[in-house]
Amino acid sequence: MSRINSNISSQIARSNLSKANADLGVRLQRLSTGLRINKGSDDPAGLITSNRIGAEISGLQQAIKNSERASSVIATAEGSLSEVSNLLISIKGLVVEAANTGALSDEERQANQLQIDSAIESITRISNSASFGGLKLLNGSLDYIVSGLRSSAVSKAQINGANFGSQQNLQVAIRTIASAQTGRLFVRGDYAGALGNGVFQSSATLEIAGPRGVQTLTVLSGRSLSEVVQSVNSFKETTGISASLVNGNANSGMVFSSIGYGSTEFVSVKRMGGPSNGGFFRTYGMPNGGQVPSSFNVPAMITAGDLIEANRDAGRDVFAVVNGVLGFGRGTKLSLPDATQLSIDLTLNTDLATRNNATTTFYVTGGGALYQLGGDINSSQQVFLSLPSTAASALGGTLIGNQLQFLSSVRSGGSNDLNSRNFVNASAILSSAIDDIAVVRGRLGALEKNTLETNSKSLQTAIENLSASQSIIRDADFATETAALSRAQILSNAGTSVLQLANQQSQNVLQLLRG
């Protein structure tokens, strides 16, 4: 049967040829672009996933660049801090030399002071000039800003890192749970001997030892406890041990006490010789860690049996909670180094540090440096850092008496310059300043080694894995596509030939007309 109005064979051939040509176009596009997904219709779900992975890769690549830039900032700051450290060490040597007053003339000491002044000016100049791409690094502009800080509670506060999150400021609430204490030993002043109360009943030789050294003191019979207190205090800088009368009354007894607070401080008082050498002399501690209150009723304590004989006692570090997290104490200093929201170093005033359940509050209101080290912008992928000022007016903060004094006080005209002969204070301030710089350098070094370098390595690994995943989803498999291209070419050629034959079949109808 032959019909010409509907050439079914031609239609079927044309349809299959269109499909073969479309498939051929797809294979050619994939081979030319190298991508399996070139438009949404190729694989809608795969396109969505691929784009998301691509966005992650882009963020991680930028995070690696951020880490490298942060390393550059740290290297720049480290170079300046190294010079500051060298200057401080040279100043320390000049102060030690000037303390040798028996072999140094006034002119030589004045020359040392001129060198110290020049070095201090250089330190402040470095503080003001150290910068990276216009960003000042060591002038305090990258330090945190605090408000509401009471010097009667906190003598010094260094905020090393603060995560504000969505807050405008961060509250810092401190509550002591165990007070800082000195090492203390009590000596009775009430005796029934012939010489009466408040005096040594017989001669005694005492070995008094503290964290700074040891001294021997011989006390003659009949000498009052007031005189013993004066003798002990005359060499307290050598031993680190001071003495005081209980309630200012020799009859109430006396207390040997370490000058400093904390577990590294101690007091040791031993009577030398046999029983004949001051056999009456005893030192006592208290059950609560050997600590003796500054005022108490001695007879009542003795009656109650509260005194425990001891010849050595150690101090105790402060323990406190900062924003609900237990801080680490060392003497009256308190640190919260690894908290996710707040990293802080505090020097507590003795009024706060020596009282249980004492509280204070202040606020961190801004400042600091933030480094974005992850592909997503959230606090878990950020590092918060403080770069404090290294100017002379901010370095070496040391509590001398009740006043916090800094490196600037060692300059000419300052309270601790060489002309003042306060060599002990100047040396303490310089030691503190050297420690300040060393701590900052240590924190920067730890950040670079343990955070930035490892962050770059881990991000690079993540990029490699994500790129492999994206390649599986989106990239063309050339082996598969070339095989498919060959098939599509064959089908296209065959379809063209078949269509030609189908069209020729319709021409056969003309033979009927000619017959």
Residue 51 lies in a domain: no
Read off φ and ψ for residue 63, nearest 5 degrees.
-65, -35
Answer whether residue 445 is part of any domain.
Answer: yes
Closest CA to 310 of 215, 225, 186: 186
At 295, the pLDDT band (50, 70, 90 cuts) reads very low
In the β-sheet with 154-162, what is the strand arrangement from edge to edge? Answer: 154-162, 342-348, 333-336, 328-330
pLDDT > 70 in the chain, percent: 90
Query: Can you give the pLDDT at residue 291?
Result: 44
Domain contains 47: no
Asked whether residue 95 is domain-assigned, the answer is: yes
Distance set, CA 256 to CA 152, 181, 225, 230 (Å): 26, 13, 11, 12
Q: Please tell me the distance from the alpha carbon of residue 338 to that of residue 426, in angstroms, as a whole number.
A: 32
Same domain flag for 206 and 301: yes
**Three-class DSSP labels, 412-436:** CCCCCCHHHCCHHHHHHHHHHHHHH
In a domain, 89, yes or no: yes
> Model confidence at 302, in pLDDT bands (50, 70, 90)?
very low
How many domains does one find in the chain? 4
CB 175 within 8 A of CB 327: no
Residue 290's pLDDT band, with cuts at 50, 70 and 90, is very low
- Clarify whether residues 203 and 299 are in a common domain: yes
Q: Is the four-CA dihedral 237, 239, 241, 242 of positive or negative sign?
A: negative
Give residue 289's pLDDT.
44
In this model, does residue 292 exceed pLDDT 50? Answer: no
Cα separation, 466 vs 50, whole angstroms: 10
Dihedral sign, CA of 407, 409, 412, 418?
negative
* Pick from 40-44, 50-54, 57-61, 157-161: least confident: 40-44
User: pLDDT band at 298, cuts 50/70/90?
Assistant: very low
What are 206's two structure tokens? 């005492």
Q: Is 366 helix (H, G, I), strand (E, B) or coil?
A: strand
Residue 361, beta-bridge partner list: 173
CA atoms within 13 A on the CB side of 257: 18
**Side-chain-side CA neighbours of residue 112 (13 Å):** 24
Between 39-53, 214-228, 315-329, 430-444, the lowest mean confidence (pLDDT) is in: 39-53
Residue 2's pLDDT is: 59
Q: Cβ(327)–Cβ(334) under 8 Å?
A: yes
Would you say how long the chain is, in residues? 515
Residues 6+ apart with CB under 8 A from 145: 364, 365, 366, 367
Residues 444 and 416 in one domain: yes
Higher pLDDT residue, 364 or 337? 364
Please indicate, yes or no, whether residues 306 and 262 belong to a single structural domain of this protein: yes
pLDDT, mean over the chain: 84
Please, which residues have CB within 8 angstroms of residue 122's CB and are 6 or more apart in sequence?
83, 87
Please check the confidence at residue 11 and state whether its pLDDT lies above 60.
yes
Residues 257 and 161 grouped into a single domain: no
pLDDT of residue 378: 82
Q: Which of 6-15, 178-187, 253-262 has the lowest mean pLDDT?
A: 6-15
Give the per-residue pLDDT at 192.
Answer: 61
Rounded to whole angstroms, how far apart are CA atoms 275 and 11? 128
Residue 125 is which amino acid?
A: R
Are 297 and 195 found together in one domain? yes
Report the 10 Å Cβ neighbour count for 405: 22
- Residue finishing a domain among 276, 299, 314: 314
Q: Is residue 353 part of a domain?
A: yes
Are residues 402 and 359 part of one domain?
Answer: no
Cα–Cα distance, 36 to 84 (Å, whole number): 59
pLDDT tens digits, 255-270: 999 998 999 999 999 9
Residue 3, pLDDT score:
63
Claim to verify: residue 107 and residue 229 sit in the same structural domain: no
Burial class (CB in 10 A: 0-12, 13-18, 19+), 317: buried
Q: 154-162 and 254-258: which strand pairing?
A: unpaired
**333-336 and 328-330 as β-strands: parallel, antiparallel, unpaired?**
antiparallel
One domain for residues 212 and 283: yes
For residue 177, give the H/E element and its range.
strand 170-178
pLDDT higher than threshold 80 for residue 173: yes
Nearest to 210, CA basis, from 234, 183, 181, 180: 183
How much is the average pLDDT of 426-435?
92
* The pLDDT of residue 296 is above 50: no
Q: Which of 144, 160, 148, 145 is nearest to 327 (CA)?
A: 160
Q: Between the CA of residue 7 and those of 132, 171, 491, what are the distances in Å?
A: 80, 86, 21
Q: Are residues 237 and 302 in the same domain?
A: yes
Q: How far apart are the first and last CA of the chain?
A: 17
Apex CA 145: angle with CA 139 and CA 146, to 5°? Answer: 140
| Domain-located, residue 52 | no
- What percent of the chain shows pLDDT beyond 90? 32
Alpha-carbon distance values, 491 to 25, 32, 105, 124 (Å) = 13, 20, 107, 82
Q: What does pTM read for this prediction?
A: 0.77
Q: Which residues form the domain of 483?
A: 8-34+476-514
Q: What is the pLDDT of residue 299?
A: 43
Strands 319-322 and 284-285: unpaired
Q: What is the pLDDT of residues 79-138, one digit of tens each?
A: 999 999 999 999 999 999 998 888 888 889 899 999 999 999 999 999 999 999 888 999
Task: Supply the pLDDT for residue 180.
Answer: 92
pLDDT at 304: 40
CA–CA distances in Å: residue 252 to residues 1, 140, 276, 428: 137, 51, 24, 35
Do 452 and 347 belong to one domain?
A: no
154/78 same-domain check: no
The pLDDT, as a whole number, for residue 306 is 60
User: Helix, strand or coil for residue 160?
Assistant: strand
Instruction: List the CATH number of the domain containing 126.
Output: 1.20.1330.10
In a domain, 46, yes or no: no
